[in-house]
């Protein structure tokens, strides 16, 4: 079942790259007590994700935070090392936190997976964005296959 606006995020683990290496984080703990702009991409270093999606959130980070967002999080079904390298390559710095969903557990738990086998990618997370306030989904923007419109940083700014 796909997560809906008003639903609490399901409990899963994601992996954050830190200076000390990969660190597991619980969604219940990570999203508790703050407003997070979360976006998911089908894959790190893929064309639309690298040219538009992540850079849009890096560029608009200050504007999103000025509208009450405490943190911006990017997730993808990639391992923590790939997510860390992609964040560095995109100069995400402190603007966007990269959280790996290496096994796709989070994408499955929120019901937003896609079959990327035709592209040699296997099961992945769909392209989407959401505003999560204290663990509850306030806004949910799921892209149609092959689209990049409603999950963008610009669209999220309009919603805030």
The DSSP result for 65-123, as a single string, is: HHTT--EEEEEESS-HHHHHHHHHHTT-TTTSEEEE-TTSHHHHHTT-EEE-GGGT--E
The answer to whether 151 and 38 are in contact (CB under 8 A) is no
- What are the tens digits of pLDDT across the range 97-156? 999 999 999 999 999 987 767 776 667 789 999 999 999 999 999 998 888 999 999 999
Q: Is 49 a catalytic residue?
A: yes
| Tokens representing residue 117 in the block | 């086998």
Distance CA 13, CA 99 (A): 10
What are the structural domains of the chain?
Answer: 13-159 (3.40.30.10)
In 3D, which of 72, 139, 118, 59 has the Cα closest to residue 99?
72
* Active-site residue, from 3, 14, 49, 110: 49
State pLDDT tens for residues 61-73. 999 999 999 999 9
């Amino acid at each position: 079942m796909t997560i809906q606006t008003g639903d609490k995020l399901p409990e899963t683990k994601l992996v954050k790259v830190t200076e000390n290496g990969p660190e597991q984080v619980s969604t219940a703990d990570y999203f508790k007590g703050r407003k997070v702009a979360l976006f998911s991409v089908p894959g790190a270093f893929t064309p639309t994700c690298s040219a538009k999606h992540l850079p849009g959130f890096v560029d608009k980070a200050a504007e999103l935070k000025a509208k009450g967002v405490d943190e911006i999080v990017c997730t993808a079904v990639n391992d923590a090392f790939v997510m860390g390298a992609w964040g560095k390559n995109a100069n995400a710095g402190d603007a966007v936190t990269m959280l790996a969903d290496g096994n796709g557990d989070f994408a499955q738990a929120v019901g937003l997976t896609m079959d990327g086998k035709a592209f040699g990618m296997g099961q992945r997370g769909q392209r989407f964005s959401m505003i999560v306030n204290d663990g509850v989904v306030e806004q949910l923007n799921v892209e149609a296959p092959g689209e990049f419109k409603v999950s963008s940083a610009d669209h999220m700014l309009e919603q805030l």
